[in-house]
């Protein structure tokens, strides 16, 4: 039986376990990336491990999320990140150099290698033939220390592409089509491996868009073959030596196959307020639009901006629309300028922002009240834009620019002939905002710079013999990390100050949650949270586990968990329990007190189930589906405690 591309790369990096779906495996990590919203905590954790220098082939620290230096905190954190990079042998991408995933695809992605990133959209690098996985910062810190990354072996879903996209239809529309079929949880426990003749019609950045948005389906990662398209990309980046041809065997066996005729895809949009609320653009056409933004790690490549430039050569932005562009990288911006593309964009009535994430993570660009905003961003979770309520649609660059011109949601095919887009055979390469690692002896002399907002990690106590507590909160399905630990300009600067950021846990769900949790914790009791399906979907931010743990949360009982959030819970000693009978969800209410007797013994002896005794109610059985390594982590109170042991 032939092997898939995913199997080939995992097999060459396998440290332990068997490549059988559902079994825990450990793989060697070649590269890591962090961004500044998660990186400060990841490097505090790396320091706590006590390793003198990173042990990966390449590690890169990007500053792309919190680039608005509205006070000292972000600026101080950037100095901290630069000094850490110099001290420990890490590349540093300065503010303004671009979004981590776009820059990594340009300058560091290597076919056949593994990449672990403290950002959920790390799979973007799968567009260059990598196994690239998003994870919590502590997992990335362990990888930088030379430790393997543990995960459950996913199923491999082959996505067979054939045909060719129509004019005005893009890779974003393919991703939206898949989201409409799989939903935000349909990729859980799966890798999406693209193959077939249709892959040859997509550039590496377009492939990156598809791999990026697999995250919104819950996929572990997504990957394309490394072929002549990949070679062309690496030549253009002056990195031809990084090329290696990689593809699945002709008789590769997939766990499932999805077939997509690219010629049948049409312009699509994700309506408010979920990435899988997908409709045809024609169904929403005619609705007035106040704001249109092109950017994010999914759609800010040179081609994305060139199509905007070509359209604005013929049209002007509608006077009622704020049309904004966040270039994906300095390279994209400089090449756009060299191709005379920037002139059309500026003359057409566009606002140009910094090369960075900005509005996608809630750092500015909030839309007006009761107005529609079209964005080429990755997510449109409620309130993520900074406006509550918001009406955010996710669209392709083609749909975005067409709508910006017309002032209403518009099918881009109405614009007539699709303009010819010719990408350069060789990009202008400018690494002036990339700081390379220092030699080891020089690095040892570097002093870490710590601003007053950087607070050391607290000690987390081991799991007690009996877990007594209160279920303080009950939430529904598809709860996101934005619900748990909100993003935005007010909160993200607190990312390295755990006591301060903990005040915002579940702030938009229950404004008093943090105060209530601390009251329970101060009584010597544990805090519990009850959730529905796909609990913790969204970003990789470990603050959604770390901050609740600081407040005393020791158990989360849900119908199912998103992969990264579940791992983060375990890393910080929080029990992720799953209802054995999903109907039992209806039997628990906020304020119920509980006890789980002999929980340490159950973990030590490998028990698969526990009984939760709720005062005044019947016992509820819960599944304790944990590997031995995960059990040891929870028993110790955190992965850091376990590592020190």
pLDDT confidence of residue 491: 85
Is 449 among the domain residues? no
Q: Which residues contact 524 (CB under 8 A, 6 or more apart)?
A: none
CA dihedral 326, 329, 334, 338 (to 10 degrees): -80
Taking the C-alpha atoms of residue 540 and residue 122, their distance in angstroms, rounded to an integer, is 10
Please give the mean pLDDT across all residues of the chain.
96
The yes-or-no answer on residue 566 being catalytic is no
The yes-or-no answer on residue 76 being catalytic is no
Is 119 among the domain residues? yes
Task: Order the strands of the 149-152 sheet from edge to edge.
Answer: 14-16, 24-27, 149-152
- Do both 282 and 259 map to the same domain? no
pLDDT confidence of residue 347: 95
pLDDT confidence of residue 596: 97
- Do both 25 and 147 map to the same domain? yes
The yes-or-no answer on residue 379 being catalytic is yes
What average pLDDT does range 469-498 have in this prediction?
Answer: 90
Radius of gyration of the chain (CA): 24
Is 18 among the domain residues? yes
166-175, 384-393, 489-498: which is most confident? 166-175
- CATH number for the domain harbouring residue 504: 3.20.19.10
Number of domains forming the structure of the chain: 3
Helices (H), 50-136: 72-88, 100-107
- Do both 128 and 161 map to the same domain? yes
Residue pLDDT, tens place only, 74-107? 899 999 999 999 999 999 999 999 999 999 999 9
pLDDT higher than 90, residue 503:
yes
- Do both 203 and 96 map to the same domain? yes
Inter-residue contact 140 to 45 (CB < 8 Å): no
Is 148 among the domain residues? yes
Full residue range of the structural domain in which residue 526 is found: 467-644
Taking the C-alpha atoms of residue 529 and residue 484, their distance in angstroms, rounded to an integer, is 11
CA 245 to chain CA mean position, Å: 27
Angstrom distances, CA of residue 173 to CA of 59, 96, 262, 384, 417: 32, 28, 10, 22, 19
The yes-or-no answer on residue 52 being catalytic is no
pLDDT confidence of residue 581: 96
Other beta carbons within 10 angstroms of residue 92's beta carbon come to 21
Is 607 among the domain residues? yes
**If pLDDT is split at 50, 70 and 90, which confidence band does 495 have?**
confident
- Do both 69 and 120 map to the same domain? yes
- Do both 50 and 191 map to the same domain? yes
Taking the C-alpha atoms of residue 227 and residue 39, their distance in angstroms, rounded to an integer, is 33
pLDDT confidence of residue 439: 96
Is 456 among the domain residues? no
Residue pLDDT, tens place only, 191-205? 999 999 999 999 999
Taking the C-alpha atoms of residue 291 and residue 407, their distance in angstroms, rounded to an integer, is 9
Residue pLDDT, tens place only, 336-357? 999 999 999 999 999 999 999 9
Inter-residue contact 226 to 244 (CB < 8 Å): yes
**If pLDDT is split at 50, 70 and 90, which confidence band does 456 have?**
confident
Which is the catalytic residue, given 30, 36, 64, 482?
Answer: 64
**E-state strands within 137-266:** 149-152, 155-162, 190-195, 221-223, 256-261
Strand 221-223 vs strand 190-195: parallel, antiparallel, or unpaired? parallel
Q: Which residues pair with 70 in a beta bridge?
A: none
Strand 351-352 vs strand 553-558: parallel, antiparallel, or unpaired? unpaired
Which is the catalytic residue, given 7, 107, 318, 379?
Answer: 379
Please compute, for residue 78, the number of CA atoms within 13 A of its CA located in the half-sphere on the CB side.
19
pLDDT confidence of residue 68: 83
Strand 553-558 vs strand 391-394: parallel, antiparallel, or unpaired? unpaired
Helix (H, G, I), strand (E, B) or coil at 406: helix
pLDDT confidence of residue 241: 98
Inter-residue contact 152 to 24 (CB < 8 Å): yes
- Do both 229 and 345 map to the same domain? no
pLDDT confidence of residue 276: 97
pLDDT confidence of residue 575: 97
Which is the catalytic residue, given 13, 375, 541, 549?
Answer: 541
Residue pLDDT, tens place only, 253-288? 999 999 999 999 999 999 999 999 999 999 999 999
Residue pLDDT, tens place only, 555-579? 999 999 999 999 999 999 999 999 9
- Do both 234 and 300 map to the same domain? no
- Do both 250 and 289 map to the same domain? no
Domain end marker among 399, 415, 431: 415
CA dihedral 367, 371, 375, 377 (to 10 degrees): 60
pLDDT confidence of residue 455: 86
Taking the C-alpha atoms of residue 335 and residue 342, their distance in angstroms, rounded to an integer, is 9
- Do both 70 and 168 map to the same domain? yes
Which is the catalytic residue, given 539, 540, 567, 638?
Answer: 539
Inter-residue contact 638 to 571 (CB < 8 Å): yes
Taking the C-alpha atoms of residue 232 and residue 101, their distance in angstroms, rounded to an integer, is 19
pTM for this predicted structure: 0.94
Which is the catalytic residue, given 7, 30, 36, 65?
Answer: 65
Inter-residue contact 79 to 447 (CB < 8 Å): no
Other beta carbons within 10 angstroms of residue 288's beta carbon come to 14
Is 422 among the domain residues? no
Domain end marker among 232, 264, 296: 264
**E-state strands within 75-209:** 91-93, 114-117, 131-134, 149-152, 155-162, 190-195
Helix (H, G, I), strand (E, B) or coil at 439: coil
Is 439 among the domain residues? no
Other beta carbons within 10 angstroms of residue 180's beta carbon come to 17
Of the candidates 558, 617, 556, 555, the one whose C-alpha atom is nearest the C-alpha of residue 587 is 617
- Do both 285 and 348 map to the same domain? yes
- CATH number for the domain harbouring residue 124: 3.30.499.10
pLDDT confidence of residue 356: 95
pLDDT confidence of residue 325: 97
**DSSP secondary structure letter of residue 462:** P
What average pLDDT does range 398-408 have in this prediction?
Answer: 98
Q: Which residues pair with 623 in a beta bridge?
A: 578, 609
Q: Which residues contact 389 (CB under 8 A, 6 or more apart)?
A: 370, 382, 383
Domain end marker among 207, 242, 264: 264
Which is the catalytic residue, given 30, 36, 77, 119?
Answer: 119
- Do both 233 and 282 map to the same domain? no
Inter-residue contact 32 to 39 (CB < 8 Å): no
pLDDT confidence of residue 539: 86
């Amino acid at each position: 039986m032939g092997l898939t591309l995913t199997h080939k790369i995992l097999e060459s990096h396998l440290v332990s376990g068997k490549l059988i779906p559902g079994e825990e495996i450990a793989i060697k990590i070649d590269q890591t990336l962090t961004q500044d919203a998660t990186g400060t905590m990841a490097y505090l954790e790396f320091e706590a491990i006590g390793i003198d220098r990173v042990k990966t082939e390449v590690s890169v620290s990007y500053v792309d999320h919190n680039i608005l230096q509205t006070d000292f905190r972000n600026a101080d954190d950037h100095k901290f990140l630069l000094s850490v990079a110099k001290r420990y042998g890490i590349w540093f991408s300065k503010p303004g150099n671009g979004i981590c995933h776009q820059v990594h695809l340009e300058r560091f992605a290597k076919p056949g290698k593994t990449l672990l990133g403290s950002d959920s959209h790390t799979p973007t690098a799968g567009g260059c033939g990598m196994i690239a996985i998003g994870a919590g910062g502590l997992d990335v810190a362990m990888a930088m220390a030379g430790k393997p990354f543990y995960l459950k072996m996913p199923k491999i879903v082959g996505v067979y592409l054939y045909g060719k996209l129509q004019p005005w239809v893009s890779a974003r529309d393919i991703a939206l089509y898949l989201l409409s079929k799989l939903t935000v949880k349909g990729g859980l426990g799966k890798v999406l491996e693209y193959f077939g003749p249709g892959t040859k019609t997509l550039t590496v950045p377009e492939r990156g868009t598809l791999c990026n948005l697999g995250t919104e389906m819950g996929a572990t990662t997504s990957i394309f073959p490394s072929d002549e398209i990949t070679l062309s990309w690496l030549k253009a980046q002056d990195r031809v030596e990084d090329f290696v041809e990689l593809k699945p065997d002709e008789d590769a066996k997939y766990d499932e196959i999805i077939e997509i005729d690219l010629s049948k895809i049409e312009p699509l949009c994700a309506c408010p307020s979920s990435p899988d609320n997908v409709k045809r653009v024609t169904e929403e056409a005619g609705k007035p639009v106040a704001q249109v933004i092109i950017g994010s790690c999914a759609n800010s490549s040179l081609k994305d901006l060139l199509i905007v430039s070509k359209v604005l050569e013929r049209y002007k932005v509608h006077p009622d629309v704020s049309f904004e562009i966040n270039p994906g990288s300095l390279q994209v911006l400089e090449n756009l300028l060299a191709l005379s593309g920037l002139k059309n964009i500026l003359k057409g009535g566009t606002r140009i922002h910094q090369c960075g994430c900005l509005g996608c993570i809630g750092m500015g660009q909030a839309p007006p009240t009761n107005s529609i905003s079209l964005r080429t961003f990755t997510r449109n979770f409620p309130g993520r834009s900074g406006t509550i309520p918001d009406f955010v649609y996710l669209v392709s660059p083609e749909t975005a620019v067409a709508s910006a011109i017309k002032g209403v949601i518009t099918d881009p095919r109405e614009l007539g002939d699709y303009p010819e887009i010719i990408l350069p055979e060789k990009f202008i390469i400018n690494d002036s905002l990339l700081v390379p690692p220092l030699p080891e002896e020089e690095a040892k002399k570097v002093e870490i710079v710590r601003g007053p907002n950087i607070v050391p990690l607290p000690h987390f106590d081991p799991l007690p013999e009996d877990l007594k507590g209160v279920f303080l909160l009950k939430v529904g399905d598809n709860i996101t990390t934005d619900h748990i630990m909100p993003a935005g300009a007010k909160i993200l600067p607190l990312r390295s100050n755990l006591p301060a950021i903990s005040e915002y846990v579940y702030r938009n769900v229950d404004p008093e949650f943090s105060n209530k949790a601390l009251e329970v914790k101060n009584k010597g009791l544990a805090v519990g949270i009850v959730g529905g399906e796909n609990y913790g979907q969204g970003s990789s931010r470990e603050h959604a586990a770390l901050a609740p743990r600081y407040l005393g949360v020791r158990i989360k009982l849900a119908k199912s968990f998103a992969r990264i959030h579940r791992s983060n819970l375990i890393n910080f000693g929080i029990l992720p329990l799953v209802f054995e009978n999903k109907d039992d969800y209806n039997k628990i209410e906020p304020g119920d007190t509980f006890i789980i007797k002999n929980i340490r013994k159950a973990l030590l002896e490998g028990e698969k189930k526990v009984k939760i005794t709720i005062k005044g109610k019947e016992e509820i059985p819960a599944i304790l589906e944990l590997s031995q390594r995960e059990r040891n982590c929870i028993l110790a109170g955190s992965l850091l405690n376990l590592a020190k042991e």
